[in-house]
Chain A
Amino acid sequence: MGNHIALQRLTVAFTTKAGTVKAANQIDAIFLGGQINGIVGETGSGKSVLGLSVLGLLPENRIVSGSILYKNRDLLQLPEREMNALRGKTMAFVPQNPDTALNPVMTVGAQLSEMFTCHAGTNAAEARLRAGEQMRRYALPSPEIFDRYSFQLSGGQRQRLLCAIGSALAPEWLIADEPTKGLDAVLRRQVCQLFQALRENSDLGILLITHDLRLAERLCDTVFVLYAGTVVEQGLAGELFARPFHPYTRGLIDAQPHKALAPLPGMPPSLIDLPAGCTFRLRCRQQTTLCSQQPPLQNVNGRQVRCWQYA
Chain B
Amino acid sequence: MSVTNKASIVYKLAAVSLLLLVSAAVFAPVIAPYDPNLVMPDETLQPCSAKHWLGTDALGRDFLSRLLYGAQVSIGFAVLAALCTTLLGVSLGVLGGYFGGVIDLVLQLLVNIFQGLPGMSLMIAIAGSLGPGSASLLLAVTLTSWAGFSRIVRGEVLKIKEESYIEGIRSLGGSDWYILRRYILPNLFNSLIILFTVRVGTVVLSVASLSFLGLGMQPPQADWGVMILDAKVYFRSYPQLLLAPGLCILALCSSIQLVGDALRDRFSIRQNTQQQDW
Please list the residues of chain A having a beta carbon within 8 angstroms of any beta carbon in chain B: 14, 18, 21, 23, 43-49, 229, 271
| B contact face: mostly helix, strand, loop, or mixed | loop
- Report the tally of A-B residue pairs with Cβ distances under 8 A: 17
A48 proximity list for chain B (CB < 8 A): 277-278
> Nearest Cβ distance between residue B273 and chain A, in whole angstroms?
11
Decide if B274 is an interface residue (CB 8 Å cutoff).
yes
6 A-B pairs besides A44-B275, A46-B278, A271-B278 with CB distance below 8 A are A18-B274, A43-B275, A44-B278, A48-B277, A48-B278, A229-B278
B residues 246-278 touching A (CB-CB < 8 Å): 274-275, 277-278
Interface contact B274-A49, CB-CB below 8 Å: no
Give chain A residues whose Cβ lies under 8 Å from the Cβ of B277.
43-44, 48
Complex: chain B residue closest to A18, CB-CB: B274
Choose from B274, B275, B278 the contact partner of A23 (Cβ within 8 Å). B278
Residues from chain A with a CB closer than 8 A to the CB of B275 are 43-44
Q: Give the CA-CA distance A48 to B277 in the complex, in Å.
A: 7
The answer for the CA separation of A229 and B278 in the assembled complex, in Å, is: 9
CA of A23 to CA of B278, assembled, Å: 6
Contact between B274 and A45, CB atoms less than 8 A apart: no
Query: With A and B bound together, what is the CA distance between A229 and B274 in angstroms?
Result: 19
Residue on A with the closest CB to B277?
A43
Are A21 and B274 in touch, CB under 8 angstroms? no
Residues of chain A with a CB closer than 8 A to B274's CB? 18
> For residue B274, which residue of chain A has the nearest CB?
A18
Over the window 69-101 of chain B, the binary record of Cβ atoms lying under 8 Å from chain A Cβ atoms (1 yes, 0 no) is 000000000000000000000000000000000
How far is B278's CA from A44's CA once the two chains are assembled, in angstroms? 5
8 contacts between A and B (CB under 8 A): A14-B278, A18-B274, A23-B278, A43-B275, A44-B277, A46-B278, A47-B278, A48-B277
Residue of B275, B277, B278 most packed against chain A (CB within 10 A): B278
Chain B nearest Cβ from A241, distance in angstroms: 24
Measured CB to CB, the nearest residue on chain A to B278 is A23
State in angstroms the CA–CA spacing of A47 and B277 once bound together. 9
Q: Which residues of A contact B278 (CB under 8 A)?
A: 14, 21, 23, 44-49, 229, 271
The residues of B that contact A229 with a CB separation of less than 8 Å are 278
- Nearest residue, chain B, Cβ from A21: B278
In the bound complex, CA of A44 to CA of B276 (Å): 8
- CB-defined contacts of A47 to chain B, threshold 8 Å: 278
A112 to B278, CA, bound (A): 29
Shortest beta-carbon distance, B276 to chain A, in Å? Answer: 8
In the complex, chain B residues 9-51 whose Cβ is within 8 Å of any chain A Cβ: none
In the complex, A18→B270 CA distance in Å?
14
